[in-house]
Amino acid sequence: DGGITQSPKYLFRKEGQNVTLSCEQNLNHDAMYWYRQDPGQGLRLIYYSQIVNDFQKGDIAEGYSVSREKKESFPLTVTSAQKNPTAFYLCASSIGQGLSTGELFFGEGSRLTVL
Partner 1 sequence: DQQVKQNSPSLSVQEGRISILNCDYTNSMFDYFLWYKKYPAEGPTFLISISSIKDKNEDGRFTVFLNKSAKHLSLHIVPSQPGDSAVYFCAVLNYGGSQGNLIFGKGTKLSVKP
Q: Which residues contribute to the site for partner 1 (CB under 8 A)?
A: 4, 6, 31, 33, 40-45, 48, 50, 56, 58-59, 90, 92, 97-99, 101-109, 111
Which helix (H) or strand (E) covers residue 88, if one does?
Answer: strand 87-94
Nearest to partner 1 of 10, 18 (CB atom)? 10
1 vs 10: CA distance, rounded Å: 23
Closest distance to partner 1 from the beta carbon of 105 (Å) = 8
CB 69 within 8 A of CB 53: yes
Q: Which residues contact 56 (CB under 8 A, 6 or more apart)?
A: 47, 48, 49, 50
85 vs 42: CA distance, rounded Å: 16
Closest distance to partner 1 from the beta carbon of 102 (Å) = 4
Nearest to partner 1 of 85, 107 (CB atom)? 107
Nearest to partner 1 of 17, 57 (CB atom)? 57
Nearest to partner 1 of 18, 57 (CB atom)? 57
Closest distance to partner 1 from the beta carbon of 16 (Å) = 27
Closest distance to partner 1 from the beta carbon of 108 (Å) = 5
70 vs 74: CA distance, rounded Å: 8
